[in-house]
A = this chain, B = another copy of it.
Amino acid sequence: MKIGAVSKASGVSQRMIRHYEAIGLIATPARRDSGYRDYSEADAHRLRFIANARDLGFPIGEIRSLLGLWSDAGRASSEVKAIALARAEDLKHKAEALDAMRRTLMDLAVRCHGDDRPDCPIIERIAGGLA
C-alpha cells in the first residue's frame, strides 16, 4: 500500500502519517525502489488506532503509551484505565475553563445594549473596569 491508500484506509492525512513517522510514533515503513513508502495492513490499523485516540483527546505522549499497552497483551487493564481517567479529568478541567469564559462573556453581553450607543460593559470589563 502506498501512502495515499493507507491514508484513505486510516483516515490520517499523508502529512500526519509522515509526521508520525518522523516523531517515531510509527515504524519507518519499507521503501520501494522508487523511494515510495510501502505500508502493510498492520500499519493502517496502527494509524487508525492513533486517529481514534486523537479523537478522544489523547496527546501524542499518551498515545505513545497506549500503543505500547495495546501491543502488550498481558498488561493490566488498570494501566489503560488510569490513563483514560487522567485524560477525562484533564478534559473536564479544560471544558470548565472554556465554559467559565463563556459564562463571563454572556454575563457581559446581556448587560450590553447592543445598539448604536457607544457605552459597553464588555469593553469596559476588558479594559480593566472590573477584574
Q: Point out the residues of chain B lying under 8 angstroms from A117, CB to CB.
A: 76-77
A52 to B48, CA, bound (A): 40
Q: Let me know if A30 is at the binding interface, CB within 8 A.
A: no
Interface residues on A, range: 35 or more
Known contacts A105-B84, A109-B88; is A52 also within 8 Å of B126 by CB? yes
- Nearest neighbor of A120 in chain B, beta-carbon distance: B77
Q: Report Cα–Cα, A118/B69, bound state, in Å.
A: 10
Q: Is the CB of A109 within 8 A of B81?
A: yes
Q: Using a CB-CB cutoff of 8 Å, which residues 68-89 of chain A contact chain B?
A: 69-70, 73-78, 80-82, 84-85, 87-88
Q: Can you name 12 A-B residue pairings with CB atoms under 8 Å? A: A48-B128, A52-B128, A56-B101, A56-B104, A57-B102, A77-B115, A77-B116, A78-B115, A81-B112, A88-B105, A92-B99, A94-B98
Which A residues fall within an 8 A CB radius of B? 45, 48-49, 52-53, 55-57, 66, 69-70, 73-78, 80-82, 84-85, 87-88, 91-92, 94-96, 98-99, 101-102, 104-106, 108-109, 112-120, 122-123, 125-128, 131
